[in-house]
Amino acid sequence: MAVRQEEFVLNMGPQHPSTHGVFRIVLTLDGETVVKADPVPGYLHRGIEKLAEARTYTQVIPYTDRLDYLASMLMNWGYVQAVEKLMGIEVPLRAEYIRVIVGELARIASHLVATGAMASDLGGLTGFLYTFRDREEILDLFEMVCGSRLTASYMRIGGVAKDLPEGFVPKAKEFLKKFTLSLAEYNGLITGNEIFQRRTKNVGILSAEKAVDMSLSGPVLRASGVGHDLRKVRPYSIYPQFEFEVPLRTNGDCFDRYYLRVLEMAESVKIIEQALASLPEGPVMAKIPRIIKPPAGEVYTEIESSKGIMGVYIVSDGSPKPYRVHFRRPSFINLGYLAEMVRGWKVADVVAILGSLDIVLGEVDC
């Protein structure tokens, strides 16, 4: 309705049901239409980069868990990969396979949260619970592997902490079989729902040029039609060995960003199936010195995390503790464009757009 006359300021957050954590957006509204938005992050800032400077290389790993805690495996992976590159360590093949398996599982888990949260942001709470039901199974698998459900700390410099436990492979296969059915359920309940489509299609449209300009990455970028997935574009680990597609959508609206994640989950399932089928035997740790002292120098590596490009920049001064660690957090950079994206949309669309960006505040605020 047209409540014109005065614009009024609505302080959304830091405690709000759909800001996905402690995050605040100061919205200037005209009626229900957003005129201006000013996102205020930082409520979850813990200074992980500073903390890392006081810890040995290995000790940083548990802290990376706490970046994107929905896909902690991938965070671990991004960090250890950087250190490995700095030191020039060759990771055993079995370890790479395990990394791919748990990494893709983590990607599925993260996308499940995004999918469910998107549904619940739009008022469909049931979808949220359905996705969490399946996410629990992935977390069970993680628990089997490393003893933790959320903050895995599973990867080590030079490999992974432990070999896969007994019974993991069959259980994972069983999960994948079940999960394919679950995907159909999400598509029926959420994707195919006309109300959901009305709420998300052509809302918060992001052009490909703008997405590249704003350094957006991950599903947000690919939903705008830019096929920049590091697993294909700059393959790391053993991704070239697997056959999978990088799904692309072209409209760049909320629906595309949502649906792209659903499609990516299906692709991840494919990758895991292949990896499980061809899992080689062998050690899971490379031979590394007891005290990790990388040579002085700096390195920047990137992996494709569930939210986008996760980059790690490490400066070493030759001591056992990193001189400087910087994480390029995809959520943080993706969120930088929120203010532009929500302008001109309704309050309800702000929620949808924020949900479709899929941010994790642990990662944003670092």
Partner 1 sequence: MLENIFVSSLNWLKNLMAAVELPAPLADMLILVIKLAAILGFILINALWLVYMERKVSAFIQGRIGPNRVGPFGLLQTTMDVLKLISKEIIIPAAADKKLFLLAPLMIFVPPLAIFAIVPFGKGMAAIDLNLGVYYFVAMASLSTVIIWMAGWSSNNKYALLGGMRVVAQMVSYEMPLILSMIGVIILTGTLNMNGIIQAQEKVWFIFLQPVAATIYLIAALAETNRTPFDLVEGESEIISGPFTEYSGMGFAFFFLAEYANVLLVSVMATTLFFGGWLAPFGWTFLPSWFWFIFKVYIMVFIFMWVRWTFPRIRVDQLMGFAWKVLVPLAIANIFLTGLGKYLFLS
Partner 2 sequence: MKQLQGCADMENSLELIAFFLLAGSLLTGALMVVTLKNLVNSVLSLIVVFFSLAGIFILLNADFLAAVQVLVYAGGVCIMLVFGVMLVQRKDMRESNPVNRRFLIAAPLTGALFLLIGLVAAKSPWVKEAGEVPENTIEHLAPILLRDYVIPFEAVAILLTVALTGVLLLVKEVKDNGRSS
Partner 3 sequence: MFGKGLLKGMKITMVRFFKPKETVQYPEVRLPLPDRFLGKPEFYYDKCIACNQCVAACPNNVITLKTETVEKKKIVTQYYFDQQYCLFCGLCAEACPKDALKFTKDFELTQYKRQDIKLKFVNPEQVAKKKAEVLQAALEKQAAQEKQAAQEKQASADKQIASEKQAAGNEAAAGVC
Per CB under 8 A, residues contacting partner 2 are 2-6
**Residue 62 makes contact with partner 3 by CB under 8 A:** yes
CB closer to partner 1, 39 vs 308: 39
CB closer to partner 3, 168 vs 337: 168
Q: Which stretch binds partner 3 (CB under 8 A): 128-136, 241-249, 328-336, 343-351?
A: 128-136
CB closer to partner 1, 123 vs 170: 123
319: partner contacted, choices partner 3, partner 1, partner 2, none (Cβ within 5-8 A by kind): none
**Residue 53 makes contact with partner 3 by CB under 8 A:** no
CB closer to partner 2, 6 vs 194: 6
**Residue 148 makes contact with partner 3 by CB under 8 A:** yes
Whether the Cβ atoms of residue 284 and residue 160 lie closer than 8 Å to each other:
yes
Binding-site size, partner 3 (CB under 8 A)? 33
296: partner contacted, choices partner 2, partner 3, partner 1, none (Cβ within 5-8 A by kind): none
6: partner contacted, choices partner 2, partner 3, partner 1, none (Cβ within 5-8 A by kind): partner 2
Minimum distance of partner 3 from residue 169's CB (angstroms): 14
In the set 26, 28, 193, 323, which binds partner 3 (CB under 8 A)?
193
- Residues contributing to the site for partner 3 (CB under 8 A): 55-56, 58-63, 65, 126, 130, 133, 136, 143-148, 151, 153, 161-162, 165, 185, 188-190, 192-195, 197
